[in-house]
Chain A
Amino acid sequence: MDYLVIAYNLALLSYSLGVLLLASPIPSKSVKSWGSKLISDSLMTAILISSITLIQGIGAYILKVLNVSWEEFFTWLYVRTLTLVSFYTVLTQVASYLKHVELSFLTSPIGYVVSLISLSFTSLRTIYVLSNVIYAFKDKLAVLGVLLYSLPFRVGKGVGSFFIAASIVMFVGFPLMPHFIQSFEASYPSKTLLESKTITVNVVDVNGRGLPYPIVKFYLVRELNNPIGVVLGDVEGKLIIGDGLDVLPKENFTLQVQIEYLGMSFTPVPDYITSEFEINTLSIPQLLMLPGLALLRNGDVEFVDVLYDYGSADITVKAFTNSKVTLVKYLKTNVTYVEVNGRETSCIWSDETWYGISISTCSIELNGSDSYTSLKLIYTPSQPSAPNVGEVRLIYKESIIDDLTNLINVAVTYIYTYIFLPGVYVVILTSMTHALSKVLGGSRLRLM
């Protein structure tokens, strides 16, 4: 209120100066008109000083009538900042993921979006600073405006009236910004870009035991010529697709699979994976896994029962005359004894190489005269080793185009809602403030 006393006295001073100019014996039109200008300004200042409580209170009154508050505005601003921060974090993560997948061409649009987001941060920070200044110094701004307004000879009339107008217009305008922007916002950026699907695939044998290091080839349905992905499983037959390593289709999809294992190619049951399930189990009914070796049956043989003790396996199969099983082992696995229906059988091993792994195979005649045949193996198992195969991760081209489109959409949306709309709003507020300041300072009383 101290400033108001100064302003009141300044108004009296400019009034007396005005009268002095008016009374002066200088026969000049401009001197006389300055006199009347000074008088009218001082009267206007007196009005403003007297109605300072009105100026300070009118903003709060309008806000109450419109039922908006500064708290809501600050909450809105905070939520927006959080959204932006989380999107920024996710994008940075996506960019770092993409480096693994050799999709460096996607990192450049992402970098563009990231730069736009930092631009949006700047715009948000400007709004923060402006709104905080208005909120904290609204009353002081009005008083300062009146003081500047009261300076004689119109020294601070324009600035002063702008300050007074800003203390009203900005104080009402900023809490209305969420409503303005929400009415123009078409949609929030789609989150599909950020979701990465993960599918776990388990490759198992007839008994549900995991195949160590299977090679799984993925094909688009009905295009069984060239695989779109080749992925190696782990020691328990498990592999994970998606999870940032692969670019998978956005919507539900089905991919056909083929499995290669120890030099053989299988069509598993089921012969596809689907994104409807998070875990897809592919079983190979032709194959029976034992530690360090595998048994492959022919079409008419059926595995009935397996008893395994370390280095010794008793297998019961259902077989017919001339039925065969093929024994496949790692070279280091040493089979010492093979017995069919209680009789020792010789096994002729032939060596092969499969993706850098040495394996041996041998065919065993079952001579199944009766339906159940027992097969006994005694051997020294060895640790399985991984084939030296070049993995081809799944990259779904349509998905990449979708991602690019999404990125562009997101970029445009962010430019629009975080930079363009608030900028337009602040410009509108400024022009309204200017208009009100013209009303306060532009009109003058005609005294002569």
Chain B
Amino acid sequence: MGVSMDLVDFIRGLTTQIIAIVWVVFLITWVVGWALRGSPIPIHRIKRLGQSLIEDSVIAAFWLALGSTVFALITFIASNISQPFPPPPTPTPQP
């Protein structure tokens, strides 16, 4: 029990750290994206890269913000589906 709880705590800690890192990375990506997009370099590919970086970071931020909600929703729906089964129909003898 102790070992598995330690493991769970470790995983939770890891998750928390990663989420903190993700926010930082999101900010960096967003900033880099806007920087590339708004840069005075007249190369269309770089502008497009900046654009896609902005999009990706926003989508990532969206999923990150929604993460706990999505999990809670799945747990709620799946738990409601996996209710105990009704008893199976028993064949009644035909007259």
A residues with a Cβ closer than 8 A to B are 2-3, 5-6, 9-13, 15-20, 22-25, 27, 32, 35, 39, 43, 46-47, 49-54, 57, 61, 64-65, 447-448
Q: A13-B14, A23-B64, A46-B75 are in contact. Are A61 and B59 (CB under 8 A)?
A: no
User: A50 to chain B: which residues have CB within 8 Å?
Assistant: 74-75, 77-79, 82
A27 touches B53 (CB 8 A): yes
Query: CA–CA, A153 to B81, complex, Å?
Result: 28
Q: A5-B4, A23-B64 are in contact. Are A16 and B19 (CB under 8 A)?
A: yes
B residues with a Cβ closer than 8 A to A are 1, 4, 7-8, 11-12, 14-15, 18-19, 21-22, 25-26, 28-29, 32-33, 49, 52-53, 56-57, 59-61, 63-64, 67, 70-71, 74-75, 77-79, 81-82, 84-85, 87-89
Query: CA–CA, A50 to B83, complex, Å?
Result: 11
- Known contacts A16-B15, A23-B60, A24-B25; 7 additional CB pairs below 8 A are A20-B22, A23-B61, A25-B25, A53-B82, A53-B84, A54-B78, A54-B82
Query: CA–CA, A46 to B79, complex, Å?
Result: 11
B82 touches A22 (CB 8 A): no
Listed from nearest, the 3 A-B pairs whose CB atoms lie closest are A50-B78, A23-B60, A54-B82
User: A18 to chain B: which residues have CB within 8 Å?
Assistant: 63
Query: CA–CA, A17 to B67, complex, Å?
Result: 12
A46 touches B71 (CB 8 A): yes
Query: CA–CA, A32 to B63, complex, Å?
Result: 14
A25 touches B74 (CB 8 A): no
User: B29 to chain A: which residues have CB within 8 Å?
Assistant: 23-25
Query: What are 22 sample pairs from A and B whose C-beta atoms fall under 8 A apart?
Result: A3-B4, A6-B7, A6-B11, A16-B22, A16-B67, A19-B60, A20-B21, A20-B22, A20-B60, A22-B60, A23-B61, A23-B64, A25-B28, A25-B57, A27-B49, A27-B52, A39-B63, A43-B70, A43-B71, A50-B78, A53-B84, A64-B88
Query: CA–CA, A120 to B87, complex, Å?
Result: 39
The distance from the CB of A139 to the nearest CB of chain B, in whole angstroms, is: 14
A46 touches B74 (CB 8 A): yes
The distance from the CB of A401 to the nearest CB of chain B, in whole angstroms, is: 50
Q: A16-B22, A20-B18, A23-B61 are in contact. Are A54 and B81 (CB under 8 A)?
A: yes
Most central of A12, A17, A46, A53 by chain B CB within 10 Å: A12
A23 touches B57 (CB 8 A): yes
A16 touches B25 (CB 8 A): no
A13 touches B11 (CB 8 A): yes
User: B8 to chain A: which residues have CB within 8 Å?
Assistant: 5-6, 9
User: B63 to chain A: which residues have CB within 8 Å?
Assistant: 18-19, 22, 39, 447
